[in-house]
Amino acid sequence: MLYLHDVWVNWFEGEENGCNVCAYHEWRKDDGMMLLDQVPVVILRKNDMDFFEKTICELPEELLKKVESKAFIRKGSKREMMEYCFIASDGDRTMAIDTMGYRVPVKKSRIMPQHELIVREMADCHAAEPFYFPDAVQKTYSLSEPSPEWMYGLTRKERQLKQLLLLAVDQLIESDNDPALKYWFTEWAPEKYEEIRKMDWETAVQEFSASIIVGWSPAHEQLCAQMIKGRPFFEKMYEQETSVAK
């Protein structure tokens, strides 16, 4: 069994998409990092690593047995055992996993670059273990469950704000309010005012949605700030993100 010691992790809970499990350089002081005293390392095949990057489905029984009770966290002078906690890697991508005693990867974390380098060296020297992972179900993405591709190249702050904007637009669409939808679509694309005014509902929904999922810009952030006004929960999330550095 391969192990790492004294490993800092920053758990992101319930995240299916690996793009939302922030890399070390995106960690924040108030994230609540944790130091693992000891954690087993499992080397996987390339396709198997997709399982952790794209899902939170049930883990193979043989994998759970292999890592069971082999990870420890130090609390004061005591070492506390973690039931199913491990680091998974295919040599290129690396992710720490904690199931919290369940059979799915409830918590995910990236690790520090120096530890990633050690894991990469382990992968160079040890063959990948042939665990059986079920085929990933093809997902259908939406504004409320955005595709990882829509977030590629964005910073942590930009990803969070984009998810907030997409949620606001999704709720607007769910309200089935045609004048409101066309108002906000026109705010987003004022040069298309006459065209938007004549659109039917389905066309307006499709074109508005298709246009805002592309990239991130000051215009996206401005629309987000405007659309969330008067929604305390959204406003709090917006303020939290805009108060931190990029």
Higher pLDDT, 74 or 178: 178
| Of the candidates 157, 183, 177, 137, the residue with the CA atom closest to the CA atom of residue 16 | 137
Distance between CA atoms of residues 94 and 174, nearest Å: 38
Distance between CA atoms of residues 215 and 153, nearest Å: 8
**pLDDT value at residue 22:** 96
**pLDDT value at residue 76:** 80
| Alpha-carbon separation of residue 178 from 142, 152, 186, 224 (angstroms) | 20, 31, 12, 19
Rg (the chain; Cα; Å): 21
Tell me if 193 sits within 8 A of 185, measured CB to CB: no
**pLDDT value at residue 138:** 76
Look up the pTM and report it: 0.87
Q: Summarize the confidence of residues 23-30 as an average pLDDT.
A: 94
Model confidence at 75, in pLDDT bands (50, 70, 90)? Answer: confident
Distance between CA atoms of residues 5 and 211, nearest Å: 46
pLDDT exceeds cutoff 60 at 142? yes
Report pLDDT digits (tens) over 95-139.
999 999 999 999 999 999 999 999 999 999 999 999 998 876 778
**pLDDT value at residue 107:** 97
> Which region among 9-13, 74-78, 123-127, 233-237 has the lowest average model confidence (pLDDT)?
74-78
pLDDT exceeds cutoff 60 at 246? no
Tell me if 151 sits within 8 A of 19, measured CB to CB: yes
Q: Which stretches within 61-146 are classed as H helix?
A: 61-67, 113-125
Give 148: exposed, middle or buried? Use CB within 10 Å, 0-12, 13-18, 19+. middle
**pLDDT value at residue 94:** 97
Tell me if 72 sits within 8 A of 84, measured CB to CB: no
Tell me if 178 sits within 8 A of 184, measured CB to CB: no
**Which helix (H) or strand (E) segment is 38 a member of?**
strand 34-43
Model confidence at 245, in pLDDT bands (50, 70, 90)? Answer: low
Quick one: tokens of 51? 């399982």
Report pLDDT digits (tens) over 179-220.
999 999 999 999 999 999 999 999 999 999 999 999 999 999
Q: Please give the mean pLDDT across all residues of the chain.
A: 93
Q: Summarize the confidence of residues 26-40 as an average pLDDT.
A: 94
Distance between CA atoms of residues 135 and 51, nearest Å: 8
